[in-house]
Amino acid sequence: MCGRYTETKVSSVLTEHFRDFIEESLLDDFRPRFNISPGQDTPVILNDRERVLDLVRWGLVPFWAKDEKTGYKMINARAETLTVKPAYRKLIEKRRCLVLADGFYEWKKGGNVKAPHRFIVNDGEPFAFAGLWERWRRPDQSELRSFTIITTEPNRLVRFCHDRMPVILPRSACEQWLDPEFTDLEKLQKLLQPYPDTDMKAYPVSVLVNNPRNDDPQCVEPARAQ
């Protein structure tokens, strides 16, 4: 699964890096994030009439949900079952999104200890997770937009820590993933592959990331050798 990630670049850098996929950016005051957790608003490119980069809630709340807390149970969606799960079946056709990040965390189990590691791409640049998004109406009729991150089997690097990894889309696949007119489910699912392990690297980080209240540069610094 993917339960924590980072986006440490400022608004202007994100907008410039993903300019080919954005028609409008609403990220004027986004601050770098070092420990993003479920339930928080984070940068996402939506294919909603026009392609908008905005802050969206992590944890998908289906339109039929009775409570927005449902989102905490739907932070990830398995690539293998998107077309059979009721909550995702329609979204994979029309409501796909790019979740912007520059790293994610997983924990390596060792006895009674879980050691956090951060995974990034080799060049350290931002990248996009494949995601799905939805609208939900609160009782007061205000709208909540939320998303889930799609996961797949891990590559060799991530397998060191976990049996799942978030789908990182290569830049060449982002256009097709966002296109609401492209609805070939078989071809879409072929995009949801493990990112090449040779194009990524990982390093241990401080247990500070274990607490979601910790959200500062120390979270992404390499852990000191014991």
Indicate the SS3 state at residue 62. coil
Could you give phi then psi for residue 187, rounded to 5 degrees? -70, -35
Q: For the stretch 107-125, what's the b/e string if a residue is b when 16 or more beta carbons lie within 10 angstroms of its beta carbon? A: beeeeeeeebbbbbbeeee
Distance CA 187, CA 184 (A): 6
Q: Which long-range contacts (CB under 8 A, 24 or more apart) does 212-220 make?
A: 212/4, 212/35, 212/37, 214/35, 215/33, 215/34, 215/35, 215/36, 216/34, 217/8, 217/34, 218/34, 219/6, 219/34, 219/35, 220/6, 220/8, 220/34, 220/103, 220/118
Residues annotated as catalytic (active site), given as ranges: 2, 106
